[in-house]
Structure 1
Amino acid sequence: MDSQTLSQLLDRVIAELLAQSVAEKNVRVVVTGDDISSLPETLSCLAALEQAGYQLWVSFSHSASQSTLKSACVDALRQRGSRAGFDRSPPHYEALYLPALSVNSMSKIALGIRDNLACEAVFQALQHRKRVIATLHPQCVDSTLPLPLLARLEGYAQVLESYGIALSGKRAAHASPVPVSQSAPAAALPVAGKKRLITLRDIRLLASGEALRIAGNTLITPAARDEIQRRNLTVIHG
C-alpha cells in the first residue's frame, strides 16, 4: 500500500470515529490473524487514532496471540510511548476497530459464527449499538486469487456492510461477475436452498424470467438485492 492510499485510509478511520459526538473516547481494538507483514499498517492506524485523542484498549485473537504478531505489536506500541491498555476491554467504549481484519474472521462474522474473539467482539458491539469499523487485510482483496474466491470474499464484505460495519481501506475490483464457464452451471442456480449466501455474482448468472428459490435463513447481499429489483426477478423463500 502506497503512502497516499494509507493516508486516505487513516483519514477515513479517524473521520468515522470523529463523527460521533461523545464525552469519552475509548476505542476497543481487536487484532486478528498471524501475518506480521500487516503490522506496520496496523501500527500506523493505531498511532493516528491516539494522535486524535482516543484511548485504545487492544486485545488479540487466538491466532495473533500464538504468533509473533502480539509481542511485536505490544513492543512497538510501548516503544512509541502508547497509552494503550492490553488484553482487556474497557467497561464503556464508543467504537470497535479491527485493523487488518483477517480472511478467517471476516468470513466467520459474515456467516454469524461466534467462535473467536473478533466475532464475539463484533456481535457484542452490534448488539449494544456500538460503531464497528474494520480495515481489511490485503489477503481479503488479493487480486491474484481465483475469481470465484474473490467473488465470495466480496460477498462476505458486503454482508459485513449490511450489518452496519464500516469497511475502510482499498477494495479490489473483484465484484465483477465470474464467467459462467468458471462457476456452477446456470441451471443449478435457480434452486439455491443449500446456499447460505447469495451474492451479486449468483444473480447475474440467472437468466431472465428465472426464479431464485432460497431457504428462510439465507443471506442476500445488498448488491444482489439491488440486482434482483433492477431485473424484477422473483425470489421464492422455502
Structure 2
Amino acid sequence: TWYEAKKGNYPREQPRSWAERWDAFRKAIWGLLLIVVVMGGIYSGLFTPTEAAAMSAVYAFFIAVFVYKDIGMKDVPKVLLNSANMSAMLLYIITNAVLFSFILTNEQIPQGIAEWLTHSGVGMVGFLIAVNILLLVMGSFMEPSSIILITAPILFPIAMKLGIDPVHFGVMITVNMEIGMITPPVGLNLYVASGIAKMGLTDCSKAVWPWLLTMLVYLMIITYVPA
C-alpha cells in the first residue's frame, strides 16, 4: 500500500495534534461502536454473522439519520433505491454462480478432482498445493458458500487422513474464499467496488493485482506455516 501510494504520488494528511485526534475520536465513537455491535453480538451468541450484517445496517441507518445527520429522512428513499440496485446486481451474480455450481456438482467434477487427489498418492505438501489451486480456480467462477458446500465434505476427510489440523485447514479454505472474492470474473467484492467507485470491472481487476499477489504470498505462508 505504501509503495502504491508513493508511486501514485497520493496526497498526504498533515500531522495532527493530540487535541485534534481526541476530538476526531470523540466524533467517530458512534461509528466505531458498529464494530462492537457486530463482533460483540457474534461472540456473545446474540446473532449469527448474517444477522449481524442486518443489525449493523439498522444501527448504521439510525446513527447516520439521527446522530450524525449525514442523511435526512427525505434522502432515505434514494438510499434504499441505490441499495436495491446494488443488491439486485449481486443477487443476479450469486444466482448465476449457484446455477454454475449446480452444473459442476451434477457433472461430478469436484468429486472427480477430489477422487483423483485421493488415488494419486500425493503427500501432505502436494495435497495442500492441489487444494489451493482447486479453490482458487473455483473461487474465480463461483461464490464462497457454494464452493464450501461442494468441496468441504470431500476434501475434509482426506485432510484428516493426512494428519492436517482441522482448524488450520478451515483457515486455509477461508483465505482462499477471500481471494476468490477479488478475482474476476465472479469476484463479488470486485462488483461491489466497481459499483461504488463507478469504475469498469476491468479497471477494478487491474487495480487489485498488487494486493492479490500479496494475498497469494500470505496464503502460501498460512498453508505451510500452520502456527
**Fold in common (TM above 0.5):** no
In terms of fraction of residues, the more strand-rich structure is: 1
In terms of fraction of residues, the more helix-rich structure is: 2
**Higher alpha-carbon Rg:** 2
TM-score range, shorter chain: under 0.3
